[in-house]
Amino acid sequence: MVKIRLKRLGYKKNPMFRIVVLNSTTKREAAPIQQLGYYNPKTKEMQLDKQSALEWIKKGAQPTQTVQFLINNCNEEGKLNYVKKQTEKLSKKAQAKLQAEKEAAAAAENTTEEASA
C-alpha cells in the first residue's frame, strides 16, 4: 500500500516536514517515491503540489490524518490557509466582571421591553 505522509527533518525542537509518497512498509526516513512539498509547523509555512497529491489519492494512496488536513486546508497554489484562533484568556476576576456586565445588560434590556409594552 502506498501512503502520503510526513518525513521529519530539522534539528531538535525545530521540526520541518516534507510531504512525501512512500510505500507503507518502508521506514519514515526511506527514499520517497515522490516528494509533494514541505510543511513548517512553527511558521505555518507550506508548499504543496495539490494536483499531484490528488492524483496519488485517485490512484489509491492513503494520506495520513495530518496530510489529509493539510490537503483540505490549502489553496490551489499549495499555500496553507491558516486562521489563528482569537481567544483571550482572562483571569477569574475579569471573567466575573464580564459576566456581571452581561447580566446587567440583559436586565436593562428586559426592563426597556417591559416599559414599552
CB 85: neighbour CB atoms within 10 A? 4
Reading the block at residue 1, the C-alpha cell is: 500500500
Q: Is residue 100 part of a domain?
A: yes
**pLDDT at residue 16, rounded to an integer:** 94
Q: Distance between CA 30 and CA 16 in Å, rounded?
A: 16
Whether residue 14 sits in one domain with residue 68: yes
Q: Which residue has the higher pLDDT, 20 or 105?
A: 20
Q: Is residue 79 part of a domain?
A: no
Q: Is residue 83 part of a domain?
A: no
| Global confidence as pTM | 0.67
Whether residue 109 sits in one domain with residue 64: no
Reported as a single tens digit per residue, the pLDDT across 30-75 is 888 999 999 998 988 899 998 999 999 999 999 999 999 999 888 8
Whether residue 64 sits in one domain with residue 36: yes
- End-to-end CA gap in the chain: 70
Reported as a single tens digit per residue, the pLDDT across 79-115 is 888 776 777 788 889 889 989 998 888 888 777 766 6
CATH number at residue 44: 3.30.1320.10
Q: Is residue 19 part of a domain?
A: yes
Residue 61 · residue 40 · CB < 8 Å: no
* Domain extent at residue 12: 2-72
